[in-house]
Amino acid sequence: MVQFTRFDPIRTLRIDRTVENVHLCHVAEWPRGLREGMEGSLAPYRGGRGVGFGDRGVLGRIPFSEMAYQGKKLINDPNAVVTEFIEGLVETYPGLQYLDGFPKIKVVLRADVVSATYDKVAVISGGGSGHEPAHAGFVGPGMLTAAICGDVFTSPPVDSILAGIRAVTGTKGCLLMVTNYTGDRLNFGLAAEQAKSEGYKVEMVVVGDDCALPPPRGIAGRRGLAGTILVNKVAGAAANAGLSLAEVAAEAKRASELVGTMGIALSVCTLPGQVTSDRLGPGLMELGLGIHGEPGAAVVDLQPVDVVVSHILKQILSAETQYVPITRGCRVVVMINGLGATPMMELMIAAGKAVPQLQVEHGLAVDRVYTGSFMTSLDMAGFSISIMKADAAILQHLDAPTSAPCWPVGTEGDRPPAKIPVPVPTSSSRNDERTFTEPKELNEQGHAMGIAIEAAANEIINLTEKLNEWDGKVGDGDCGSTMHRGAIAVLEDMKKCYPLNDAAETVNEIGASLRSVMGGTSGILYDIFCKAAYASLKGNQVITAKQWATALEASVAAVSKYGGAVAGYRTMLDALIPASKVLRERLDAGDDPLKAFLLSSEAALAGAESTKNMLAQAGRSTYVAAELLSSVPDPGAMAAATWYRAAALSVKNKLYPSESE
């Protein structure tokens, strides 16, 4: 028997297992040293398709396609997940409660409904759990009256369905909304017949909206998918409007015939307590995968979402299968449904591609779009698209108010244009076309501005490696590179578009240059710094020393306000705050402006050095141990002190070389 050795990266516990039972994991989860030691063994399995195992030598390899491991779940007992879900649901939404037979009988119902007095048709749905929020999340006025929950992917027992019927059905009867799976049809059907024998009025509508597979033969029919949620909303609204049982059932049956659904999956779901499936390996996706993990129409290579959406829409709207009576010129509603592990970003991307394709390629008017997770499959990655033919009655029911906790808040009426023009910036805002140019002749102020800017930028460039070295110890190691990009941009733009004779506009342009290339927090903070200075300086042709001091104070205040840092937080402000204070103090004391500038630059350097003794309270350094922080100054503070000091020295050395500090 081949033996494999694995090191658990969390518990540092050696686990020896035979190959049949070894608990495998992706190589990225292994400890770094072991991972590096196996580097040579991984060559045949690059791209995540395999993993080598070794302990003082490689003992074997197992292809990725054969790997299976215990699914990771945030649960307690795999056998108690449904009951604990229901407990959490009713704790979260006070308008819901469950029947006393819980946990054997798992029925979620409206807290305001009592069968003896309920004067509307009760709408009941349900099925196996694992598809949350379906169906318990859609219990509420205007939608479902009750939901019957089976165990994970298991139809609820007849006793539970009967209990739900008895609990909420009044004189007008109840409508059972059932997804088209054999177990659900049989169990709900038997419960319906038993309830009828007890004197209850009961009707049942079965929803089969799957469009992924060829038209089925025999009695199986099409599978019930996320389109069921739209049908349930129609039924709930019709019941809430006071319609009779026959009328509500007719509305629901009609809606079920107008909707089609197809899904794609990037992974197969993992049941609580079970091992993962190896059916979908890297780079593959499955078309029409069932919501219980059952095989779909085909396994294909992963495709861009544009292609996937196009295929789904063509399949649903196929004239050959005629699954839905939708042709060019029809009005429709669309549901983009996440299957459990799909980020909202990806669902919105799919929605953004589906709507224009429906409009342009299929000639349909899209009246409503619902995007989110409505009927999931545990942790399956993927989505489904449901298309329902819309008319005035359908839209009225979908738009009708409901307090069901998981039904999205919709928007009635015509959809406004999604794209509107960008507002024209005011004259004080930066124009992306950079309308300024460098003046042909510089006045005294413009000459000083040019000297100071060039010196400050060059000194930052010279300090790039040191800043990266410091930041590598206390941050992500790119402070120098980020500041270097900003300095280069400033030098280049100064030659093209800085109106150096206008100090306020020049400062504003510096901020635009920095923001465009630095990115991240630092780029925004420096742009805020410059914008605040610009607001303080604008309107003044010749800037006095005290006006510069006021502008610096405004810049410091703005960075503190929007960035959240203050003195002592180990940031750039620990250099700029001392500089601002000393500049104001020396000018108010009557010092020469040059002397005040130089003294304030010394204060900036001293402030930056003092950050070695500070605990970081902003930025990535907050996660770094104190002993590491004490070994280096804050890179951002040193960068600010460096350019400030360089600007002061350049003005002295080039404009006033005879002046002493």
pLDDT in tens, 551-569: 999 999 999 999 888 999 8
Q: Is 184 annotated as a binding residue?
A: yes
The closest alpha carbon to 226, from 305, 138, 330, belongs to: 138
CA atoms within 13 A on the CB side of 54: 17
CATH number belonging to domain 260-399: 3.30.1180.20
Please, which residues have CB within 8 angstroms of residue 20's CB and are 6 or more apart in sequence? none
Residue 261 region by backbone torsions, left for phi larger than 0, else alpha for psi between -120 and 50, else beta: beta
Burial of 535 (0-12, 13-18, 19+ CB in 10 A): middle
Does 130 belong to an annotated binding site?
yes
Q: Tell me how long the chain is.
A: 661
Please state, in angstroms and rounded to a whole number, the distance separating the CA atoms of residues 522 and 471: 13
CATH architecture, domain defined by 78-257: 3-Layer(aba) Sandwich (3.40)
Is the pLDDT score of 414 beyond 70? no
Q: Poorest-confidence range of 230-244, 346-360, 412-426?
A: 412-426
579-630: pLDDT as tens digits: 999 999 999 999 999 999 999 999 999 999 999 887 755 544 444 445 555 5
Catalytic residue among 135, 292, 362, 484: 292
Which pLDDT score, from 0 to 100, does residue 159 have?
95
Give me the phi and psi of 370, to 5 degrees please: -115, 120
Question: For the whole model, what pTM was predicted?
Answer: 0.69
pLDDT tens for each residue of 216-248? 655 678 899 999 999 999 999 999 999 999 999
Residue 52 assigned to a binding site: no
Amino acid 578: pLDDT: 96
Return the closest-CA partner of residue 150 out of 235, 240, 50, 81: 81
State the average pLDDT over residues 253-278. 92
What distance in Å separates the CA atoms of residue 158 and residue 165, rounded to the nearest whole number?
A: 11
Report whether pLDDT(54) > 50.
Answer: no
pLDDT band at 2 (very low <50, low <70, confident <90, very high): very low
Q: What does the alpha-carbon distance between residue 108 and residue 98 come to, in Å, rounded to a whole number?
A: 5
For residue 493, give every residue at least 6 positions away whose Cβ sits within 8 Å of its Cβ, in sequence order, or none.
Answer: 434, 509, 513
**What proportion of the chain, given as a percentage, has pLDDT over 90?**
66
Residue 389, φ and ψ in degrees, nearest 5: -65, 135
Q: Enumerate long-range contacts of 319-324, CB under 8 Å, 24 or more apart.
A: 321/211, 321/214, 321/215, 323/211, 323/215, 323/222, 323/260, 324/211, 324/258, 324/259, 324/260, 324/387, 324/388, 324/389
Q: What gap in Å lies between CA 228 and CA 238, rounded to an integer?
A: 15
pLDDT of residue 363: 96
pLDDT value of residue 626: 52
Strands (E), 189-316: 202-207, 259-265, 284-287, 298-301
292 is catalytic: yes
Q: What token pair was written down for 599?
A: 């003294």
Task: Give the mean model confidence (pLDDT) for residues 415-439.
Answer: 62
- In the prediction, which pLDDT does 108 show? 97
Q: Per-residue pLDDT tens for 128-151?
A: 999 999 999 999 999 999 999 999
* pLDDT beyond 80 at 7: no
Residue 312, pLDDT above cutoff 60? yes
> Phi/psi of residue 607, each to 5°?
-65, -40
- Asked if pLDDT for residue 417 goes beyond 90, the answer is no
- Give me the pLDDT at residue 422, please: 74
Q: What is the pLDDT of residues 356-400, one digit of tens each?
A: 999 999 999 999 999 999 999 999 999 999 999 999 999 999 999
Q: Which amino acid, one-letter code, is at 296?
A: G
Which residues 6+ apart lie within 8 Å of 123 measured at CB?
143, 144, 145, 174, 175, 177, 232, 235, 236, 239, 248
pLDDT value for 62:
38
Residue 591: predicted pLDDT: 95
Spatial separation of the C-alpha atoms in residues 41 and 20, rounded to whole Å? 21
Report CA-CA distances (Å) from 114 to 146, 167, 246, 284, 304.
11, 7, 21, 50, 50
- Flag whether pLDDT at 353 surpasses 90: yes
Inter-residue contact 129 to 78 (CB < 8 Å): no
Residue, of 422 and 651, whose pLDDT is higher? 651
pLDDT for res 4: 35
Whether 633 shows a pLDDT value over 60: the answer reads yes
Average pLDDT over residues 442-462: 94
More confident residue, 659 or 632: 632
* 198 vs 7: CA distance, rounded Å: 62
Among candidates 106, 173, 172, 112, which has minimal Cα distance to 142?
112
Instruction: Say if residue 23 carries a ligand binding annotation.
Output: no
Euclidean distance between CA atoms 164 and 548, whole angstroms: 75
Per-residue pLDDT at 546 exceeds 50: yes
pLDDT band at 24 (very low <50, low <70, confident <90, very high): very low
| Domain range annotation of the chain | 3-66, 78-257, 260-399, 444-655
DSSP per-residue letters across 67-114: ---BPP-S-S-GGGHHHHHHHHHHHH-TTEEE-TTTTTS-EEEETT--
Average pLDDT over residues 33-57: 34
| d(C-alpha 280, C-alpha 162), whole Å | 39
Structure-token pair, residue 41: 């063994």
Residue 79: Cβ within 10 Å count: 12
Listed residue (233, 172, 235) closest to 205, CA to CA: 235
Interior angle at CA 41, CA 37 and CA 46, nearest 5: 115
pLDDT value of residue 488:
97
Average pLDDT, the chain: 85
pLDDT at site 273: 87
The residue-averaged pLDDT of 292-310 equals 92
User: Residue 507: is its pLDDT beyond 60?
Assistant: yes
How far apart are the C-alpha atoms of 393 and 233, rounded to whole Å? Answer: 12
Question: Measured between alpha carbons, how far is 651 from 661 in angstroms, rounded to an integer?
Answer: 12
Q: What is the pLDDT of residues 163-198, one digit of tens each?
A: 999 999 999 999 999 999 999 999 999 999 999 999
Picking from 360, 375, 367, 382, the residue whose alpha carbon sits closest to that of residue 313 is 360
d(CA 126, CA 184): 8
Label residues 143-157 b or e (16+ Cβ within 10 Å = b).
bbbbbbbbbbbbbbb
pLDDT, residue 412, reads 60
131 is in an annotated binding site: yes
State the pLDDT at residue 519: 76
430: DSSP letter: P
**Percent of the chain surpassing pLDDT 70:** 82
Please state which CATH number belongs to domain 444-655: 1.25.40.340
Exposed, middle or buried, 89 (CB in 10 Å: 0-12/13-18/19+)? buried
